[in-house]
Amino acid sequence: MNVVSTVVGYPYIGENREWKRIVEGFWKKELTEQQFEQQMKAIRLEHIQRQQALGLDLIPIGDFTYYDRMLDLAMMFNIIPNRYNNLLEKESALTCYYAMARGTEQAVACEMTKWFNTNYHYIVPEYEGQHLYVTENRLLAYFLEAKEELGLLTKPTLIGPYTFVDLSKGYDEKTRAAFILALIPLYAQVLKELVDAGAEWIQLEEPSLTKSLSSKEARLVEEIYKQLTEAVPEANIMLQTYFEALTNYENLIQLPVAGIGLDFVHGKKENLEALRKSGFPKDKVLNIGIVNGRDIWSANLAEVASDVQAILNLSNANDLWVSSSCSLQHVPVTTANERKLDSVLLNALSFADEKINEIVHVAHFLSTQHWAKEGIVSESMECIRALATHPVRNNARVNDLVKSISNQDFVRLESFEERREIQKTALGLPDFPTTTIGSFPQSPAVKKTRAAWRKNELTNEEYAAFIKEETARWIAIQEEIGLDVLVHGEFERTDMVEYFGEQLTGFAFTEKAWVVSYGSRCVKPPIIYGDVEWSEAMTVKEVVDAQSLTSKYVKGMLTGPVTILNWSFVRNDIPREAVANQIALALRKEVEALEQAGIQIIQVDEPALREGLPLRREDWSTYLEWAVNAFKLATSSVKNETQIHTHMCYCEFNDFLDPIRALDADVISLETSRSHGELIASLKENPYELGIGLGVYDIHSPRIPQVEEMETILKESLEVLSKEQFWVNPDCGLKTRQESETIAALKRMVQAAKLLRDSSRKTLVN
């Protein structure tokens, strides 16, 4: 039996976020295009050499990107929206590429949304009937680069045609067929050029094949791959699925490809059952995704080896790949730089490099029937056992609190209709009240001061005084802008999850365990490795200090339990529901502390609620029940007069309004600047009765929108919302923006809201 070790993809940001610094340096015009390309090439080659040194047999290329891989394909196939035509005529392709990702003063950015149920955001390709052709086969360039400079035959990888179409927009049922038919020859051209250059395997990633597929869609997939493989019969295609089990297994397993990759982590049960029932084709290579590409926990090598043996027994595969369950871009690069973690925890962690080691060890065992390192199996089991018995995972107080939860803990005192009238009198806000999502720009001074404080170069008192001064400055700025409900700005917070995790038990924090969220935005997810418990107020002082500086309301700002869960690396020894309830109980105490301190508006953000959804709609209900309940557990103990807000961003809401409604939040703010028309259409079909704030401009783009743009969004929104429901806000927090552009954009937003008020008054008078 031939056994090959490989991965679906490798993190491209670098061990120390080198990639991020190069990208942002280019944006700031600190690098020429030539310097940019040279430095990017150096990173690409270093990543390949690193995987080679770790012992990987087949190394992917094409997992590297300058911003986003869906955007890469859109650019490669000339799917460039018409609004960028003038730019493309005058500037380089690279400038146009980044304009599509980030927008310009003249053209808004392409829509950005979540990559399946992860916290990565991709750029949505916009098909407008463009003439499609291969502008540049960058995958070929990367393949030749590795071949000529390193002497390696790598595995080119790209998003497959069905998934690419599935995640694109701009077509309807009539134009979809034309879109697909135009794409197949382009994919064929890319594959043919790679084969001619010597590529022995080409990986086409098709995660959309793990979603619910109708029989009609399955036939479409069959036709796409029939045409593609007829066009390039000499190409060895590894059709790679991940995030779930392959749908329509009996039919799709027969696709005319040389190999199929299955996820035996997240789709383990269903894929095993499919193998048991239908077997596996003798003429195909089976790629076993057996090491979890989405979490950071060491594999139990004995269990992995047992699972692989069971898979082999069921499949009778002759040729086998051992791989990660999905791309490793969802985990940090290496544990080698983590010097401050509890040793018991550190020994139980596995990042990208460590996962490659696990894959290589398993592949060696399958080939030789013995482990390359003596005692490695018992070592992995001992690391897992030591963490399981750690006191942080055995907190009796937390377990007793969770057991005491009752149905009443999930319910507000009165219905929303009754609360709305009470809050209208208690708060006395104007029509179309304006606010922001919570954070304000973290200036170089803020970052420098925080870094000095963390290095003990500033005392706690000096740091607190600086935060108080910066908060006061922004309270004054907000009043000058004319916002109706203010925020304290969150200058004390590095990250909306990390800040809370640092003050709760059960969390650990890394030094360099970065992962990419979108574009060049990288985050260090906390590690929830033990029982979560609240010990003292986390946000009250800063918010109360801010409230003392103004007669306007200042919102309390918290991150919701499901977002803390979904934006962390979570312990895998108990159900995620149990962890969510622990976090919710801790936040419930913080909400009560804010209310007792006199804060009347409290925002509990849940931007990650949707991304935790299972890929298949039929599996949604179980997750949504406990996720919605976790939010309600955190927020339902307040008085009727206290207004609970929440926020969500960058996900498709058209099929998600019912769960949003079930949260029973008094006000929810949504992203609508990049997908406004879709949300408005959805609200026409599915009316929403609670308070709602529409994000009227895109904070992820540096462009400052015109008043008229925002006014148009607001007026269109009034077609589906009453003025009693309506709040006005940006679409997300402003931490990553510059101060000047933030102030300018907010002034225009307030002006648009005032124009709407004036128009509404005139309508009433007439």
Q: Which are the catalytic amino acids?
A: 700
Tell whether 17 is in a known binding site: yes
Q: How far apart are CA 547 and CA 597, in angstroms?
A: 10
Tell whether 671 is in a known binding site: yes
Q: Which residue has the tokens 């791309």?
A: 327
Q: How far apart are CA 517 and CA 513, in angstroms?
A: 13
Q: How far apart are CA 291 and CA 323, in angstroms?
A: 7
Tell whether 439 is in a known binding site: yes
Q: Which of 351, 650, 292 is nearest to 514 (CA)?
A: 351
Please give the full DSSP string across 209-266, using - where no structure is assigned: GGS---HHHHHHHHHHHHHHHHHSTT--EEEE--SSPPTTHHHHTTSSSSEEEEESST
Contacts of residue 565, Cβ cutoff 8 Å, sequence gap at least 6: 528, 576, 579, 580, 583, 608, 612, 630
Q: How far apart are CA 522 and CA 378, in angstroms?
A: 35
Q: How far apart are CA 204 and CA 187, in angstroms?
A: 10
Tell whether 354 is in a known binding site: no
306 close to 270: Cβ distance less than 8 angstroms: no
Tell whether 732 is in a known binding site: yes
Instruction: Report residue 759 as tokens.
Output: 């128009």
Tell whether 114 is in a known binding site: yes
Exposed, middle or buried by CB within 10 Å (0-12, 13-18, 19+), for 234? exposed
Instruction: Report residue 46 as tokens.
Output: 């270093």
Residue 467 phi, psi (nearest 5): -60, -45
Tell whether 649 is in a known binding site: yes
Tell whether 20 is in a known binding site: yes
| Crossing angle of the two packed helices 93-102 and 69-76, in degrees rounded to 10 | 130
Tell me the three state secondary structure of residue 553. strand
Q: How far apart are CA 219 and CA 238, in angstroms?
A: 19
Tell whether 326 is in a known binding site: no
Tell whether 119 is in a known binding site: yes
- C-alpha 14: how far from chain center: 18
- C-alpha 650: how far from chain center: 9
Task: Tell me how crowded residue 37 is: count the other CB atoms within 10 A of its CB.
Answer: 15
CB hemisphere CA count around 669 (13 angstroms): 27
Q: How far apart are CA 712 and CA 718, in angstroms?
A: 10
Q: How far apart are CA 481 and CA 22, in angstroms?
A: 35
Q: How far apart are CA 260 and CA 237, in angstroms?
A: 8
Tell whether 605 is in a known binding site: yes
Name residue 598's amino acid. G
Instruction: Report residue 524 as tokens.
Output: 């260090």
244 close to 208: Cβ distance less than 8 angstroms: no
Q: Is the dihedral of CA 355, 529, 391, 504 positive or negative?
A: positive
Strands 521-523 and 507-508: unpaired
CB hemisphere CA count around 280 (13 angstroms): 27
Tell whether 438 is in a known binding site: yes
Tell whether 611 is in a known binding site: yes
Task: Tell me how crowded residue 428 is: count the other CB atoms within 10 A of its CB.
Answer: 8
Q: How far apart are CA 157 and CA 59, in angstroms?
A: 10
Tell whether 173 is in a known binding site: no
698 close to 729: Cβ distance less than 8 angstroms: no
Residue 553, beta-bridge partner list: 485
Strands 112-114 and 121-123: antiparallel
714 close to 752: Cβ distance less than 8 angstroms: yes
Contacts of residue 380, Cβ cutoff 8 Å, sequence gap at least 6: 298, 299, 300, 301, 302
Q: What is the 3-state secondary structure (H, E, C) of 164-187?
A: HHHCCECCCHHHHHHHHHHHHHHH
289 close to 272: Cβ distance less than 8 angstroms: no
Task: Tell me how crowded residue 698 is: count the other CB atoms within 10 A of its CB.
Answer: 24
Please give the full DSSP string across 677-740, using - where no structure is assigned: HHHHHHHHHS---SEEEEE-S-TTSS----HHHHHHHHHHHTTTS-TTTEEEE-SS--TTS-HH
528 close to 565: Cβ distance less than 8 angstroms: yes
Residue ranges for the known binding site for L-methionine are 437-439, 490, 605
Residue ranges for the known binding site are 17-20, 114, 119, 437-439, 490, 521-522, 567, 605, 611, 647, 649, 671, 732
Residue ranges for the known binding site for L-homocysteine are 437-439, 490, 605
Residue ranges for the known binding site for 5-methyltetrahydropteroyltri-L-glutamate are 17-20, 114, 119, 521-522, 567, 611
Residue ranges for the known binding site for Zn(2+) are 647, 649, 671, 732
